[in-house]
Structure 1
Amino acid sequence: MRDKLERRSFILLLIAVSIAFGFILEPFWGAIFWACAVTVIFSPLQRWMLTKIGDRPNIAALLTLFILLAIVVIPVILLTSAFVSEGVQFYQRVEAGEIDPRAIVQRLRDAFPWFDQLLVELGVDTSNLRERISQALVSASQFLARETLTIGQNTFSFLISLALMLYLTFFLLRDGNALIKLIIQALPLGDEREKALFNKFAEVTRATVKGNLVVAIVQGALGGIIFWILAIPGPLLWGVIMAFLSLIPAVGAAIIWFPVSLYLFATGDWISATVLIAYGAIVIGLADNLLRPILVGRDTKLPDYVVLFSTIGGIALFGINGFVIGPLVAALFMATWQIFMKDFSGEP
C-alpha cells in the first residue's frame, strides 16, 4: 500500500515539475521548436560530414552550423531588413496621399460596372462599399506598418532568440541521437510506437519546411520579379507577402497578383495586365504543382483539406511558426490514431 502511494505521489511530482519547467521555457518555445526543426533538416548533412572528417562530432556540428548561417540565417536577416524598410515606405506613401485606396476602388468600379450588379444580386449593400473597401485597405496598410515597425523595434529580442536557437541547434546536432534514445527510454508509450512518432515528426518537419517553405520562397521571388519588371510599387514588399500567402493551401500568391492585374486593366494598361495574368497563372501557379511533389513527396503529403485547416489553424494559434506546427500536429494526430487502430483495435 505504501509503495503504491509513493509511486503515485512521485508521478504527481513528476507531472508538476515537468509543467513548471515547461512554463519556464515558454518564452523560448519558438527558438526551441526551430532548433529542433533545423536539426531534423540538417542532420543528414552533419552525418555526411562525420563520414568525411571521422569521429569528430563537435567539428561536424560546428561546420553544419556555419553552413546554416551562410545559406539560411544571413539571407533571411537581410531580406527581413529590406522588407521592413519597404513596408514603412509603403505606409508613408499611403499617409502622404501618393497611394489613394479610394481612387483605386473607384477605378475598379468604373472599369467593371458589372461588379456592382453582381454584388446586388448576391445581397451585398453597395451604398458604402467604396468607403468600406477603402477603409479596409487603409487598415491593412496600417497593420502592415505596425508589424514591420514592431519587427524593427524588437531586433534585440529577435537576435537573442536567434542566438539561443543556434546554440541549441549545435548541441542537438551533436547529441541528437543520444537524446532521442534517452527520450524513448523515458517515455512509457512503447519503444516501437515512440520510434514511429519520432520518425513521423522528422518526416513531416522535413516535408513541411523543405517543401512548403522552398515553394513559398520561389513563388514570392517570381511574384516580386514580375512586379519589378512591370514597375509596380513595392515589388519586394509584395513578393514577401506572396511568399507568406503561398504557405496557405488553396489561397496562394494569386490573392495578390490577380487583384493587381484587375487594377491594371482598370487603368487601361492592358499589356501589363495580360502579362501579369499569364505569368501568374503559368509561371507562379505551376511552380507549386511542379516543385511540391519533388520536394515533399507523395508519401508524406497530408490530404489537401487537412493541410488547409491545420495550416490556417496553426498560424492563427502560433503565428508564423504555425505553418509548420499545424501540419505537424495534424500528422502526429493521424499517426497516433493509426498506431491505436493497429495495436488496440486490430484494424489495419
Structure 2
Amino acid sequence: MEQHSRIQLTFFISIFIGVILLAALILKPFLPTLAVAAVFAVLTYPMHTWIRERLKNEVLSAFATTVVATLVVVIPLSVIGALLMQEAQQLRSALTSEERDLVSSVVAPIESLVRQVAPSFTVDVEGFASEVARWITANIGTAFSSTAQLGLAFIVGFIAFFYFLKDGPHFVRTLINLSPLDDTYDRTILEKLANTIHSVIRGSLLIAIIQGILTSVGFLIFGLPNPILWGSIAAVGALVPGVGTAVVIVPAVIYLFVIGTLGSAIGLALWGAVVVGLVDNILMPRLLGAQARIHPLFILVSVLGGIAFFGPSGFLLGPLVLSLLYGLADIYSILFKSHIEFAADHHPEP
C-alpha cells in the first residue's frame, strides 16, 4: 500500500513538473512583459488605492490607473527609446565633427598625461563610440525591430497591468497558499520585495531617468548634438557613485569652452549644477523616505546586465531580480538565525 502511494505521488509530481515546464514554454514570449506589468502594478498600487477610494469602483479605478500610467510613463519612454535608437544608429554610422571635437577636447589631455608613462597609449574615440552605439542597437533595438511584435507586447502588457491592479490581492493570497513556507515568511518576502522595488525603481532609477531627461534638455538648450543619446548615457552615469551626470556634462562644458561659446559653457555648467544636480537632493528623500537604499553599484550592474540578458525590458527586470535577491537574503538571514537560536535552546548541556 505504501509503495502504491509512493508510485502515485511520483507519477503526480512528474506530470505536475511536466505541465509547469510546458506552461513556462507557452508563456515564455510574454514573461518579460508580464514581469514589467507586475512591477508597474506594485509601483502604482498606492495611486490605484487613492482613485478607488474616490470612485468606489475597483474596475474603474484599475482602468484609470492603467491609462494614466501608460500615458505618463510607458508612451514617453517608448518615444525616448525610439529616438535613442535613431541617434545611436547615426552615431554608429559616423561621428559628427562636433561630437569628435567634444570627445577629443576631453580625451586629449588625459591621453597626453598617460603617454608620459606609456608612450604608445592611444584612445580610439570613434571605435569606442561605435562600440557604445553597437551595444545600444543590439540590446535595445530588438524592441523596435517588429511593429507587430511591439504592438502585441503593448496590448498584453496593458491587459496584464490592469488585472494585476484589479486582482492583485487575490494573486498574492494564491501565492501564499501555494508556497510551502510559513505564511509569515511569505508575507515578509512579498513585503520586502515590494519595498525594494520602490527603493530601486521609484528611487534610484526614476531619479536617474529624470536627471538624464534634464541633461538632454540642457543639451537641446545649448545646441549640442544627439541630446537623447547623451542624456541616456548621463542617466546611466547617475547610477554610478561619485560620477553622476558629470560624466557627460563636464566634457560638454569643456567642449563649449574650447570652441569659444563661453556663455553656453557657463549656462550648461549652471544647468548641470543647479537643475540636474539638485534633483538627487530634493527628490530622493521625498521618493524614498525611510526605505532602505541598495548600493548604487548593484543597481548599475543589475540595469546593464538586465538589458544585456532580457533586452529593453531588462531595464526593469534586472533591478527586479536584484530586489527579489535582497528579499530572499533577508529571509535566509531570519531563517538561519532562527535555526541557530533553536539549536542553542535545545542543545543538551554537557
Closer, same or farther in 2 for the Cα pair 1:330/1:34, shift >3 Å? Answer: same
The structural deviation recorded for 1:71 is: 2.0
The structural deviation recorded for 1:194 is: 0.5
The aligned residue for residue 60 of structure 1 is 61
CA distance in 1, matches of 2:23, 2:286: 40
The aligned residue for residue 17 of structure 1 is 19
The aligned residue for residue 167 of structure 2 is 175
Aligned residue among 164, 168, 173 for 2:156: 164
Deviations along 1:132-169, whole A, 9 cap, x unmatched? 23322244345556667655433322221111011112
Question: Is the counterpart of residue 211 in structure 1 residue 206 in structure 2?
Answer: no
Question: Is the counterpart of residue 252 in structure 1 residue 240 in structure 2?
Answer: no
The aligned residue for residue 186 of structure 2 is 194
Q: Which amino acid aligns with 1:317?
A: F
TM-score (norm 1): 0.82
The aligned residue for residue 44 of structure 1 is 46
Q: How does 1:92-171 map to 2 (within 5 A)?
A: 94=94, 98-99=97-98, 101=100, 107-108=105-106, 112=109, 115-123=110-118, 125-126=120-121, 129-130=122-123, 132-141=124-133, 144=136, 150-171=142-163
CA distance in 2, matches of 1:109, 1:331: 39
Is 1:107–1:267's contact at 8 Å kept on the other side of the alignment?
no
CA distance in 2, matches of 1:324, 1:57: 29
CA distance in 2, matches of 1:190, 1:124: 64
Question: Equivalent residue of 1:27, what SS?
Answer: helix
Which structure carries more relative contact order (alpha carbon 8 Å, separation 6+)? 2
Give the length in aligned residue pairs: 337
Q: How does 1:215-226 map to 2 (within 5 A)?
A: 215-226=207-218
Question: Equivalent residue of 1:345, what SS?
Answer: helix
The structural deviation recorded for 1:212 is: 2.5
Aligned-pair RMSD on alpha carbons?
Answer: 3.1
The aligned residue for residue 331 of structure 2 is 336
TM-score (norm 2): 0.82
Q: Which amino acid aligns with 2:326?
A: A
Question: Is the counterpart of residue 321 in structure 1 residue 302 in structure 2?
Answer: no
The structural deviation recorded for 1:70 is: 2.6
Is 2:237–2:245's contact at 8 Å kept on the other side of the alignment?
yes
Structure 2 gap segments, 5+ residues each: 343-350
The structural deviation recorded for 1:218 is: 1.8
The aligned residue for residue 75 of structure 1 is 76
Is 1:39–1:172's contact at 8 Å kept on the other side of the alignment?
yes
Is 2:236–2:300's contact at 8 Å kept on the other side of the alignment?
no
Closer, same or farther in 2 for the Cα pair 1:163/1:247, shift >3 Å? Answer: farther
The structural deviation recorded for 1:181 is: 0.7
CA distance in 1, matches of 2:301, 2:105: 35
The aligned residue for residue 285 of structure 2 is 293
Between 1:77-86 and 1:1-10, the stretch displaced more is 77-86
Q: Which amino acid aligns with 2:43?
A: I
Is 1:247–1:323's contact at 8 Å kept on the other side of the alignment?
no
CA distance in 2, matches of 1:218, 1:12: 49
Percent identity, please: 25
The structural deviation recorded for 1:214 is: 2.5
Q: Which amino acid aligns with 2:250?
A: F
